Amino acid sequence: MPTSNAPVATPKKLMTANEFWDFCQLPENENHSFELIRGEVVEVSRASKPHCIVCANITRLLGNYSFECGIGYVTSNDVGTILATIPVSVVGPDVAYFTDAKTLDEVHPKWGGETPILVVEVLSPNDRTRETEGRIRDYLESGVNLVWIVEYQERTVSVHRLSLDEKVLNTADLLTAEKVLPGFSCRVAEFFRMPGDKPLTGASH
């Protein structure tokens, strides 16, 4: 979930989701990434290579599950996700699991207003605790069932559900998606594996 405090030249008025889409498509914004936080545009920075490796691992594990059970689909690359906040927010979770479509033709051509059932954010060293806590709250209050916050430097995953206490898991722990993704499980260490690492006992499902 990399962020940047660099100033962005944007209109003063609060944007809608559609206006934000048009703003992001402008030629001068081609090489920039943005989020819309309660109507205001914020530029976000590019992720580090370790961050992207962890995101790819998580996407692969969840994607394998989706194909095995035939339910839902997984997005990565900070797909625009509209949160039910007023003014509107359009954020880019590192990984998200949706269940609103079965084929590519059914997927909204832009961002759509569908709420993912699971969101995964991989923290970067410059992420602030207060901002992360706010993001988790926004996800859960917008209808996301389950949020995983992954810290690749600490090798931990914290699990968040609405009205439930945070649960922190380490590499040896078994991570499940509870009732959100029935039957899914993997060792937390799977998120941080490289091909050169030793195989883990207890395969993911």
Q: What is the pLDDT of residue 3?
A: 55
User: Are the beta carbons of 140 and 162 closer than 8 angstroms?
Assistant: yes
Q: Return the amino acid letter for 177.
A: A
pLDDT (average), residues 69-93: 91
Q: What is the pLDDT of residue 86?
A: 82
Give the separation between CA 180 and CA 200, rounded to whole angstroms: 25
Measured from the Cβ of residue 126, the count of other Cβ atoms closer than 10 Å reads: 11
Q: What is the pLDDT of residue 78?
A: 86
Residue scoring higher pLDDT (111 or 199): 111
pLDDT (average), residues 194-204: 74
Residue scoring higher pLDDT (111 or 176): 176
Q: What is the pLDDT of residue 198?
A: 80
Instruction: Please state, rounded to an integer, the average pLDDT across all residues of the chain.
Output: 90
Give the separation between CA 1 and CA 187, rounded to whole angstroms: 22
- The b/e string for 156-170 (b: 16+ C-beta within 10 A; e otherwise) is bbbbbeeeeeeeebe
Report field, pTM of the whole predicted structure over 0.75: yes
Structure tokens at 28: 């001068």
* DSSP codes, 107-139: S-SS--SPPPSEEEEEEPTT--HHHHHHHHHHH
Domain ranges of the chain: 47-82+90-192
Kindly state the greatest CA–CA separation across the chain: 54
Summarize pLDDT for 153-187 with one digit per residue, the tens: 999 999 999 988 899 999 999 999 989 999 999 99
Q: What is the pLDDT of residue 51?
A: 94
pLDDT (average), residues 187-199: 92
DSSP-derived secondary structure letter, 67: H
Is the pLDDT assigned to residue 126 strictly greater than 90?
no
Q: What is the pLDDT of residue 130?
A: 84
Q: Return the amino acid letter for 30.
A: E
Structure tokens at 185: 């499980």
If you classify domain 47-82+90-192 with CATH, what class do you get? alpha beta
CA-CA-CA-CA torsion sign (36, 37, 43, 44)? negative
Is the pLDDT assigned to residue 136 strictly greater than 70?
yes
Confidence of residue 5 (pLDDT cuts 50, 70, 90): low
Give the separation between CA 4 and CA 127, rounded to whole angstroms: 9
Angle at 121 between CA 77 and CA 104, to 5 degrees: 40
What residues contact 33, with CB distance under 8 A and at least 6 apart?
43, 44, 45, 46, 78, 92
Q: What is the pLDDT of residue 2?
A: 60
The answer, yes or no, to whether the previous bond of 87 is cis (omega within 30 of 0) is yes
Summarize pLDDT for 12-62 with one digit per residue, the tens: 689 999 999 999 999 999 889 999 999 999 998 888 999 999 999 999 999
The residue to which tokens 């979930």 are assigned: 1
